[in-house]
Structure 1
Amino acid sequence: MANPSESEPGIYNFGKVASGILTHVFCVVFTLFVTVLSKPGTSLFSWHPFLMTLAFSFFMTEAVLLFSPHCSPIRKLSHKTKGRIHWILQCFCASCATLGLASIIYNKHLNGKPHFTSWHGLVGLGTVCVVGVQCLAALPLIYHSLAKGWSLAQLKRYHAASGIVTYLLGSASLLLGTCTLWFTSTVGGHTWYLAALCPAFSSLVIMNQVSNTYMAKKRLVS
């Protein structure tokens, strides 16, 4: 069966390839930018922005882009292999996010500051919890014997839908992080807009990729 992307107009296909490559670049550049800005290891707090950005900007984005028909770095591998690598990257994401959350909680505890008093903190906490649940819920996709009474197609649809929500929460957490006092006191002007553009652009590309993939499958089935 022909790949649906092969029937797309050339300019449209080129746009998807370009946006996918740009997403790879954005997630790496944004992660490196925050790493330089936070200087991980210089303080307990420094681990929070570094680990959260590594989790939501790099690992989570690259995990989803593995399935892109236009810009996947492992597009020639089987879907099963991609699925396992995707799950491993998401586990790295969950691990980094958990450590990043733990570092800010302990840092606030040491400094006697209240916890989760901002939208950034609340959305970040929710995202870490959802990422953990998403990783556990993906196990039946890898070991289908765990999914009793569910078809593989149903599991994939639910996983994709919840995955979009999870990714949007992660992007929202990053965007809210660029609005914190720590970030805005160092980054301003055009640099701030470019930094905020990275998670915003990536979320649009990821939503488009996932929705188009399952819309294409629905058209082929019907």
Structure 2
Amino acid sequence: MVSHTESESRIYSYARILSGIFTHVMCAAFTVFVSVLAKPGSSLFSWHPFLMTLAFSFLMTEALLIFSPHSSPARKFPHKTKGRLHWILQFLCASCSVLGLGAISYNKHLNGKPHFTSWHGLVGLVTVCIVGMQSVGALPLIYHKLAKGWSLAKLKRYHAASGLITYLLGSASLLLGICSLWFTASVTGNSWYLAALCPTFSAFAIMSQVTNAYMAKKRLQS
């Protein structure tokens, strides 16, 4: 007979699996939605929303979900392989974000408009810079000899904490982009709220994944 504790544990596990699957679907659907809306290639500006959404909604989310114990598509792979996949996805994320930033900067230059005058622009710029620093900061995890005097466990904790902050900044940048004149001119009503739900839900899902992973490690160590 299944105990009450085991039953709760199963329900919790199923809820985590469904949440992870939902996050996969939402971040992919949101990226496709913005891509259809932006029509990349139709103008120089069109590359900005497409590349930024691809970077922060899809690639960065999938890079973090790689380590999910419940919904990772690489769940059965060894941790080293997951780490390599994470690095590749993060490299693609950084590349897309730099290209997206370049597209909007050059577009503003051509049109004689001021740069980074909105919260969306400022948060986006800060996020792209931090993504670059986060990528460089991850090198000691791959080549541990670069971090003399630092334990691998401590480096992983710092990387996870800074990575979560970076992801939340990326989600905030997407939400601010949803509030932009370009987006609200085309998307209104319930569609806008559904669009806003995507980065919001993904942010809570990733935050829960990271915090639970390190809380579990602390419980095991205590």
Which TM-score band (shorter chain)?
over 0.9
Q: For residues 39 and 107 of structure 2, what CA distance do their matches in structure 1 show?
A: 16
2:20 is paired with a residue whose SS is helix
Cα distance per residue 1:122-169 (max 9 Å; x no partner): 000000000010011001111111111100000000001001100000
Q: For residues 148 and 158 of structure 2, what CA distance do their matches in structure 1 show?
A: 15
Give the structure 2 partner of residue 92 of structure 1: 92
Give the structure 2 partner of residue 126 of structure 1: 126
Give the structure 1 partner of residue 3 of structure 2: none
Q: For residues 7 and 147 of structure 1, what CA distance do their matches in structure 2 show?
A: 44
Give the structure 1 partner of residue 78 of structure 2: 78
Letter in 2 for 1:216: A
2:187 is paired with a residue whose SS is coil
Q: 1:8 Cα shift?
A: 6.6
1:9 is paired with a residue whose SS is helix
- TM-aligned CA distance change 1:7 to 1:152, over 3 Å: farther
Letter in 2 for 1:209: Q
Give the structure 1 partner of residue 189 of structure 2: 189
Cα distance per residue 1:35-81 (max 9 Å; x no partner): 00000000000000000000000000000000000000001111111
Q: For residues 214 and 101 of structure 1, what CA distance do their matches in structure 2 show?
A: 33
Aligned CA-pair RMSD: 1.1
Letter in 2 for 1:172: A
- TM-aligned CA distance change 1:8 to 1:71, over 3 Å: farther
Alignment of 1:103 with 2:103, yes or no, is: yes
- TM-aligned CA distance change 1:163 to 1:7, over 3 Å: farther
Give the structure 2 partner of residue 221 of structure 1: 221
- TM-aligned CA distance change 1:69 to 1:40, over 3 Å: same
Alignment of 1:35 with 2:32, yes or no, is: no
2:67 is paired with a residue whose SS is coil
Give the structure 2 partner of residue 202 of structure 1: 202
Alignment of 1:44 with 2:44, yes or no, is: yes
Letter in 2 for 1:170: G
Q: 1:7 Cα shift?
A: 9.9
Q: 1:106 Cα shift?
A: 0.2
Give the structure 2 partner of residue 69 of structure 1: 69
Cα distance per residue 1:87-141 (max 9 Å; x no partner): 1100100000000000000000000000000000000000000001001100111
Cα distance per residue 1:186-214 (max 9 Å; x no partner): 00000000000000000000000000000
Unaligned runs of 5+ in 1: 1-5
Normalised by the length of structure 2, the TM-score is 0.96
Runs of 4+ aligned residues of structure 1 deviating over 4 Å after TM superposition are: none
Alignment of 1:138 with 2:138, yes or no, is: yes
Q: For residues 135 and 85 of structure 2, what CA distance do their matches in structure 1 show?
A: 12
